[in-house]
Amino acid sequence: MPQRIILQVEGITKIFGGLRAVDDLSFELFENEILGLIGPNGSGKTTVVNIITGFLKPESGHVKYLGEDITLKKTHEIVSKGIVRTFQIMRPFRELTVLGNVTLGTLLFEKDVQKAKDKAIEILKKVKLEDKKDVLCSDLATPDQRKLELAKALALNPKVLILDEVVAGLSAQETSMILELIKELRDKSNISVVIIEHVVKAVMKIADRIIVINAGKKIAEGKPKDVINDPTVIKVYLGEKIRS
């Protein structure tokens, strides 16, 4: 079934000093799809996220959202359109409680603070963080901070959700809880997801399609099963065959 392209990345290149962090990279994200983006450390994954969300401007190439060029748009404009990210290095607002943090997200489409808080509590229930709603973010342990990052992103009512290492540091149980949640969101709320991970197994489980990048270049693309058997991928990234 041919699907509508929701996000299109066309030949983006980003150079830091002498390093081509992202090198002529192109890919597309279909509506209602979960796309895995994997690659070894320093392969440019987070840079791609930064370019899509307007934190960085590429040297060349374009990012298109539903056909509209958003490459040079500001981050807050991109977020308002529905492209929302989480941060690999968690960035909660430290002086706010968990509820305060998520409320900041829900306020984007809700002027009334009380209503925004109610919406925020709904989201906290989804990620099972409701019991910690009055905890200060600087007092939160890593797994809960990961969940908070996700809750903050969901609060912004995303159409495209970009998850940068959202399960890193979580236990197996918590990981599957979050992955289930992401799947459920995709099924129920018609969200498209880009999931960037080190934990390849995690991505394998839920991604419909996987793109592998190395040194800023796309080296493989396809169904999870095909990608892990691709010899180039095994060589640069996995080192050995993964038994699945």
Partner 1 sequence: MQKIKIVKMRFAYTFFISLLLFLVALPLVVQQPYILHVIIISMLLAYLCTSWSFVSGYARQVSLGHSVYVGIGAYSTALLYYHFGLNPILGLLAGIVSASAISILISVPSFKLGLRGPYYTFSTLALAEFFTYLFIGLRDLTGGELGLALPFKNNPFYLQFQGKIPYYYIMLSLLVTVIILANRIQNSKFGYYLFAIRNDESAAEACGINVFKTKIMASLLSAVLTSIGGFFYAIYYMYVTPESVFGLSLSFQIATTSLIGGATSWIGPTIGAIVAVPILEVTRATLGGKFIGFPLLFYGIVLVVMGRYLPGGIASRLFRDKERVR
CB of 70 to partner 1, least distance (A): 14
Which of 19, 72, 113, 172: binder of partner 1 (CB under 8 A)?
Answer: 113
Q: Under 8 Å CB-to-CB from 76, ≥6 apart: which residues?
A: none
Q: Candidates 2-10, 57-65, 107-115, 181-189 — which segment interacts with partner 1 by CB under 8 A?
A: 107-115
Which of 14, 45, 73, 85: binder of partner 1 (CB under 8 A)?
Answer: 85
Residue by residue, DSSP assigns 164-197 as ESTTTT--HHHHHHHHHHHHHHHHHH--EEEEEE
Establish if 105 lies at the interface with partner 1 (CB under 8 A). Answer: yes
Q: φ, ψ for residue 96 (rounded to 5)? A: -110, 155
Closest to partner 1 by CB, 133 vs 209, is 133
Asked if 6 and 31 count as a contact pair (C-beta separation under 8 A), the reply is: yes
Establish if 53 lies at the interface with partner 1 (CB under 8 A). Answer: yes
Closest to partner 1 by CB, 14 vs 132, is 132
- When computed from its CA atoms, the radius of gyration of the chain, rounded to whole angstroms, is 18
Question: How far is C-alpha 124 from the chain's CA centre?
Answer: 18
Q: Which residues pair with 209 in a beta bridge?
A: 35
Establish if 185 lies at the interface with partner 1 (CB under 8 A). Answer: no
Under rule CB under 8 A, how many of the chain's residues touch partner 1? 31
Which of 156, 163, 195, 219: binder of partner 1 (CB under 8 A)?
Answer: 156
> How many CB atoms sit inside 10 A of residue 151's CB?
26
- Give the interface with partner 1 as residue ranges (CB under 8 A): 53, 55, 74-76, 79-80, 84-85, 87, 91-97, 99-100, 103-105, 107-108, 111, 113, 116, 134, 136, 152, 156
